[in-house]
Amino acid sequence: MCSIAGFYNSNENYMKKQEYCSKLLDNMNNSLNHRGPDHQEYVVLPKCGLAHTRLSIRDLKNGNQPMMKSVCGNQIYIVYNGEIYNAEELKSELVHLGYEFTTTSDTEVLLYSFMHYGPDFVEKINGIFAFAIYDTANDALYIYRDNFGIKPLYYTTTSDGTLVYASEIKALFQYPGIMPVINKDSLCQIFGIGPSKVPGSGVFKDILEVKPGHYIKINKYGITDFTYYRIKSAPHTDSYEETVEKTAFLVKDSITRQIVSDVPVCTFLSGGIDSSIVTSICSGCLKEKGIQLDTFSFDFTDNAKYFQSNAFQPAEDRPFVELMRDYLHTNHTFLTCDMEHMADMLYRSVISRDLPTMADVDSSLLYFCEQVADTHKVVLTGECADEIFGGYPWFYREELVNSPTFPWMKDISPRLDILNKELTEYLNLPEYIGQLYSSIVSEIHMLPEETPIERNRRKIGYINIRMFMQTLLDRMDRTSMHSGLEARVPFADSRIVDYVFNVPWEYKYRANTEKSLLREAMRGYVPDEILFRKKSPYPKSYNPLYEEILCKRMNEVLHNQNSRLLQFVDSAAIEELLKSPKDYGKPWFGQLMAGPQMIAYLLQVDYWLTKYNISIEI
């Protein structure tokens, strides 16, 4: 796993200012060094520059980039961030076609695939990726992003028509003339839908991201956006038994493929069904090779003392972690984070994403990934199973299924209450959110035979993948890669998504049990106590000390005349929020963020505005 960056302009000749361009690429690489601390390199070509930082996982000796191959005098370059899980099948095809490989890296597989099949070769790939390919003969740059946006890729164009791209926004700001500016749309995203963002948007003015399932071609004629993958609606014809069997195969195959690595792998083990499934299959595969799996779980100091059971988090995780550890005999490490440290990490969390984040849901994971990265470079996680298999209440609670907006933020009054009146009127967040929801829903192809309730569930499944899951994937990538840890997400395999998206709800939800299809498919891999455990989300701290720290810091912001947050909020409303009890049972963003996270998020916004020296155009 790595980072990529670079620039392209068909009207330039960068060879005439090679030293200057080399410095630019070096600066971009340095800003992304955390993603690839093992090696840095770049190349300056007449029309473009390509930069790469490397986290060595496959072919440790020969896999450095940029990589170049030449056919009939045509040189083609690539910089690539990701993992290709069907690389061996693709390589076998190419060898049969006469291609000779000099490395065992999947980078070379991508490059030869492009050369043989053309730009649409990406449709053949199963993996997580963001990469740039430059074709010298045709003077064309192509930038690609994986099906679900697991790997990030941002870009913008400068006033002279130069396209600049990078794995993270911070690297774009290394290029002269690209400045951190926000406008009305930015504020709507920060205060209206944050920590989510609009698909294809980088939140900052004029900064975009390559959409999941898209690639972009840039040449002298301009920029062309191509869609190579989209989720499709189709009738489901398999019986329930066949569906269970196929689901089991797809899940096991995805996890098994993602164990591939030339360095040791580990798993996050929360004690929930999803991470337990991943851990069980991973452990079984490694045991066949005589390897004991390393596993890690996360919690907070004194959480057992202060834990509060509620509808969203009915039980502590640790007893279930211990059960799985003993069941699989893994080499397990319990990691804990204290309250002061978690509050401090809120600010580093902003830097990791270049935006306000999911508050302590991000900051704590950032801290834990830092600890795991001390000993490992690759971790498998249980992320995305809830979005794909229907694990959230809005899939089955009638009032949420029929919600005319994003069900994880049906009530935006907590957001509106803390903004000043002028900003509330200017942004008109209900209208903004409504238009965004309608835009995303319009992408869905409904089947004519579907009932209204079936159509609503299809809507929820789709917007979960497009919005909610994307937010969690952004979180997983930035919190892990900030410390050079590659996090893999086996459930976000397009084969699983394509199949399960069209499975009837009565197959996914049986005996009033969410994700019953996944549970049934995985019988025998985890103990029944875990397999049929009530869903519990990522842990949060219930320690009152954390709230005290947040409230103290927010009071300091409110009394700081230089705070840039104050121009947007109602200080009196926030003071009242600080006095009132913090509700853990009614989160303001899905199941993950409650009262304390609202305060933490505002602290992040305040820090972000100052740290990035953001200009505001409204």
Q: Which of 379, 391, 384, 387 is nearest to 268 (CA)?
A: 379
Q: Which DSSP string corresponds to 281-327?
A: HHHHHHHTTT-PPEEEEEEETTHHHH----SS--S-SHHHHHHHHHH
Q: Tokens 């909610």 identify what position?
A: 468
Q: Tell whether omega for the bond before 212 is within 30 degrees of 0, i.e. cis.
A: no
**Residues labelled catalytic:** 2
Residue 414, token pair as written in the block: 């907590």
Element containing residue 53 per DSSP (H, E)? strand 48-54
* 484, 379 contact by CB (below 8 A): no
Q: Tokens 């920029």 identify what position?
A: 223
- Tell me, rounded to whole angstroms, the distance of Cα 506 from its chain centroid: 29
Residue 177, token pair as written in the block: 């003339």
Contacts 24+ apart (CB under 8 A), 317-323: 317/270, 317/271, 317/272, 317/536, 317/539, 318/271, 319/271, 320/270, 320/271, 320/272, 320/276, 320/529, 320/530, 320/533, 321/269, 321/270, 321/271, 321/297, 322/271, 323/271, 323/527, 323/529, 323/530
**Spatial distance between the Cα atoms of 404 and 399, rounded to a whole number of angstroms:** 10
